[in-house]
Chains A and B, each alone.
Chain A
Amino acid sequence: MKVWLFHLAVLVVVGVLALTLPPYHANNLARVLVLAVFATGYNLAFGYTGMLSLGHALFFAAGMYAAALPATLWGVGALPALILGLLAGGLAALGVGLLALRTAGVSFMIVTLMFAQAGYLTVIYFNQTTGGDQGLVLQGGARRLIGLDMAQDGPRLWVAFALYAAGLAGALAIVRSRFGRVMLAMRENEERSRMLGYDPFRVKLAVLAVSGLYAGVAGAAYAVLFGYAGASFAGVQYSILPMLYSLMGGAGTVLGPLVGAAAMFWLIDIASGLTTAWLMLVGIVLVGLVLFAPKGLLGWIRERWMPWLP
Chain B
Amino acid sequence: MAAVILQAQGLSRAFGGLRAVDGVDFALQAGEIHALIGPNGAGKTTFVSLLSGRIAPDAGKVMLSGEDITRLPAHQRVRRGIAYTFQITSVYPRLPVFDNVALAAQSRGVRDLPAAVDAALDRVGMAGMGGRMAGELSYGHQRLLELAMGLALKPRVLILDEPTQGLAAGEIEGFIALVRGLVPETTVLMIEHNMEVVMSLAHRITVLNFGQVLASGTPDEVRANPQVQAAYLGTDHAAA
- A residues with a Cβ closer than 8 A to B are 178, 181-182, 184-185, 188-189, 191-200
Contact = CB atoms under 8 A, between A and B. Distances in A.
Given A178-B106, A195-B78, A185 B84 contact: no
Name the interface size band of chain B.
Answer: 20 to 34
Contacts of B113: 178
A199 B99 contact: no
Contact of B75 (A178, A184, A189, A198): A198
B92 interface: yes
A182 B103 contact: yes
B75, B90, B93 interface centre (most CB from chain A within 10 Å): B75
Listed from nearest, the 6 A-B pairs whose CB atoms lie closest are A197-B78, A197-B107, A188-B92, A197-B79, A192-B90, A199-B75
B52 A195 contact: yes
Given A194-B75, A195-B54, A196-B107, 8 more contacts: A178-B113, A185-B92, A185-B103, A188-B94, A189-B92, A192-B91, A195-B86, A199-B75
B103 A181 contact: yes
Contacts of A182: 103, 106
Contacts of B103: 181-182, 185, 193, 196, 198
Contacts of A194: 54, 74-75, 78
Contacts of B102: 178, 181
Contact of B104 (A184, A196, A199): A196
A195 B95 contact: no
Interface string B79-90: 100011010001
A65 B104 CA distance: 42
Given A178-B106, A185-B92, A189-B92, A196 B149 contact: yes
Contacts of B54: 191, 194-195
Contacts of A192: 86, 90-92
B153 interface: yes
A191 B75 CA distance: 10
Contacts of B93: 188
Given A184-B99, A192-B86, A198 B92 contact: no
A267 to B, nearest CB: 29
B75 A188 contact: no
Nearest to A198: B75
Nearest to A179: B106
Interface string B139-170: 00000000001000100000000000000000
A181 B94 CA distance: 12
A183 to B, nearest CB: 11
Contacts of B193: none
14 contacts: A178-B102, A181-B106, A184-B95, A184-B99, A189-B90, A189-B92, A192-B92, A193-B103, A194-B54, A194-B74, A195-B78, A195-B83, A198-B107, A200-B75
Nearest to B149: A196
A196 B103 CA distance: 7
A69 B218 CA distance: 75
B108 interface: yes
A191 B107 contact: no
A192 B102 CA distance: 14
Contact of B108 (A185, A189, A197, A199): A197
Nearest to A185: B103
Given A181-B106, A185-B103, A197 B75 contact: yes
A188, A196, A199 interface centre (most CB from chain B within 10 Å): A196
B73 interface: yes
Contacts of A195: 52, 54, 74-75, 78, 83-84, 86
B100 to A, nearest CB: 9
Contacts of B79: 197
Nearest to B113: A178
A178, A184, A200 interface centre (most CB from chain B within 10 Å): A178
B38 to A, nearest CB: 23
B95 A188 contact: yes
A60 to B, nearest CB: 30
A178 B83 CA distance: 20
Interface in B25-56: 52, 54
Contacts of B75: 194-195, 197-200
Contacts of A181: 99, 102-103, 106
Contacts of B86: 192, 195
A188 B104 CA distance: 15
Contacts of A197: 75-76, 78-79, 107-108, 153
B92 A199 contact: no
Nearest to A189: B92
A200 B52 CA distance: 16
Contacts of A178: 102, 106, 113
Nearest to B99: A181
Contacts of A200: 75
A181 B117 CA distance: 14
A280 B52 CA distance: 54
Contacts of B153: 196-197
